[in-house]
Amino acid sequence: MRSWTQKRLCNNSEVMKVAVLDINGKDTGRKVDLSKNVFAIEPNNHAVYLDVKQYLANQRQGTHKAKERAEITGSTRKIKKQKGTGTARAGSIKSGIFKGGGRMFGPRPRNYSFKLNKNVKRLARKSALSIKAGEKAITVLEDFNFDAPKTKNFTAVLKALDLENKKSLFVLGASNNNVYLSSRNLKGSEVINSSELSTYKILNASQVVLLESSLEGIESNLSK
């Protein structure tokens, strides 16, 4: 089986060049190849919709619950005779038509998650990346690290990339605790590994920042 590098060399005509920036926002003079099979496909809007719907559904706890007439405290005595009152019959004060009665057809705990084919999810992520690439909303950044987790260090990177007032998604090639902890207090920025990439997170960010080390993992996962 050919390696990932060999496949890229064989499909050299199907790549696009993107400049690599440093953490100061300056062009390093180097370029990387992005596969058009991942970053330049015709977006499938329905696949994107399904993947985002599944992601949001999976976030729901589904623990909502309302008490029905069998679960509330109250007398079960028949409150009036069955006929002759000129009004509707009523069995007990716990009926949902009375104040303090149980709720009729109230919400019950349920699981909102649903299955989605992995090929559809892969197509959705490629569509989302292609949408961002078409909007010039993807930046490739050289790998960096901090000596210690400090929010001001990450804020300096955002300022250099002109992302201070924008939602940004930083995708790392591997777990980096110092970078992650430095960004955790910033509401508009999120740092994830390439394995955690999702359609929702891509589309929810104004700018997607891909570190060089993340490109191989992204392309190898989505090119299957």
Identify whether residues 45 and 138 lie together within a single domain: yes
- Chain centroid to Cα 208, Å, comes to 13
Residues 72 and 170 in one domain: no
Q: For residues 147 and 85, state if they share a domain.
A: no
CATH number of 162's domain: 3.40.1370.10
> What are the CA-CA distances from residue 182 to residues 4, 13, 25, 178 (Å)?
32, 39, 18, 6
Q: What is the pLDDT of residue 103?
A: 94
Res 2: pLDDT: 43
pLDDT at 4: 38
Which residue bears the tokens 């891509």? 202
At 162 the pLDDT is 94
173 closest CA partner among 146, 139, 143: 143
Domain range for residue 158? 4-60+112-222
Same domain, 215 and 127: yes
Question: Looking at the structure, do residues 42 and 132 belong to the same domain, yes or no?
Answer: yes
- Looking at the structure, tell me whether residues 50 and 78 fall in a common domain: no
> In which residue ranges of the chain is pLDDT below 70?
1-13, 224
Domain total of the chain: 2
Q: 130 with 148, same domain?
A: yes
36, 79: one domain: no
87 vs 103: CA distance, rounded Å: 21
- Are 53 and 70 part of one and the same domain? no
pLDDT of residue 209: 96
pLDDT score of 223: 81
- Are residue 175 and residue 101 in the same domain, yes or no? no
CA gap 102, 66 in Å, rounded? 8
pLDDT of residue 41: 94
How many angstroms separate the CA atoms of 5 and 21, rounded? 22
Q: Which residue spans within the chain are E strands per DSSP?
A: 15-21, 27-35, 138-141, 168-172, 189-193, 207-211
Among the candidates 84, 110, 136, a domain finishes at 110
Rg of the chain, C-alpha, whole Å: 27
- Residue 94 sits in the same domain as residue 130: no
Query: Same domain for 86 and 147?
Result: no
Q: Is 5 exposed, middle or buried (0-12, 13-18, 19+ CB in 10 A)?
A: exposed
Q: Sign of the C-alpha dihedral, residues 192, 198, 204, 210?
A: positive
